[in-house]
Homo-oligomer: A and B are copies of this chain.
């Protein structure tokens, strides 16, 4: 009997459902052109447990069945499980774990090297808030985080220090690439898709010279409205 088997029934059920969701969400990364080969990963917190589920390291998107998603503790170590076929979690697991430990409201984390967002990261330049879509989704510029070595806590710390208390759900880690957070895995994936979309559009616009940001009061109004009216979570959308 493995460690996972010994968990209470409802937690094992929650793990199984999270694995289904995380496996399915990985298909969104190649679909929206965010990744080459295996270079991106999604994780999601297991509701009601001190666990999260993340992509195995170095495995292609074609081979991401739910039972291959790796279950981790909050310190980033792997929960042994007879169904996981011995796969190790993503080499970015420490960064995901750090975010979950320090940002309790975060339920999902995504990391990619999506082209245009990473091009901003290569230069250490934020994505300015020059479009209504940036204001809607990120509430202001998408900030740059520090250049950090992979493997210890420095990436996770850089993410948390940059995003804490900010509207933006995306950070461009310098000379590395974007990390996004969200209420759950799907929300973090959406942030990754929109981060690349606005990076691409702004990058192309900037090739002809600087672009003026939106006025701050318009940014505030767009952000407020999008949080409260857009989608199906509120009455009154017009």
| A-to-B contact residues, CB < 8 Å | 32, 36-37, 39, 56-59, 76-77, 86-91, 93-94, 113, 115-116, 118-123, 125, 130-133, 147, 149-151, 175-177, 190, 193-194, 196-197, 200-209, 211, 214, 218, 221-222, 225, 229-232, 235-238
Smallest CB–CB gap between A138 and chain B, Å? 13
A146 to chain B minimum Cβ distance, whole angstroms, is 12
Separation in Å of the A167 CB from the closest CB of chain B?
17
Which of A131, A202, A229 has the most chain B CB atoms inside 10 A of its CB?
A131
Instruction: Name A150's contact: one of B122, B194, B207, B222 (CB within 8 Å).
Output: B222
A133:B177 contact, CB within 8 angstroms: yes
Contact B231 A58 (CB under 8 A): yes
Residues of B within 8 A of A56 (CB): 232
Contact B130 A122 (CB under 8 A): yes
Give the distance to chain B from A233, nearest Cβ to Cβ, in Å.
8
A-B contact pairs, 5 of them (CB 8 A): A37-B194, A89-B238, A115-B200, A132-B150, A132-B177
Q: Are B88 and A149 in contact (CB under 8 A)?
A: no
Q: Which residue of B32, B133, B208, B225 contacts A123 across the interface (Cβ within 8 Å)? A: B208
Residue of B with least CB distance to A206: B208
Cβ–Cβ < 8 Å partners of A91 in chain B: 229-230, 237-238
Chain B residue nearest in CB terms to A229: B91
Asked whether B151 lies within 8 Å of A225 as measured between CB atoms, the reply is yes
| Docked-complex contact B119 and A133, CB < 8 angstroms | no
How many angstroms between the C-alpha atoms of A21 and B189 in the bound complex?
30
Q: Which residues of B contact A113 (CB under 8 A)?
A: 131, 133, 197, 201
> Which residue of the partner chain B has the closest CB to A215?
B147
Contact yes or no, A122 B87, CB < 8 A: no
Is the CB–CB distance between A207 and B207 below 8 Å?
Answer: yes
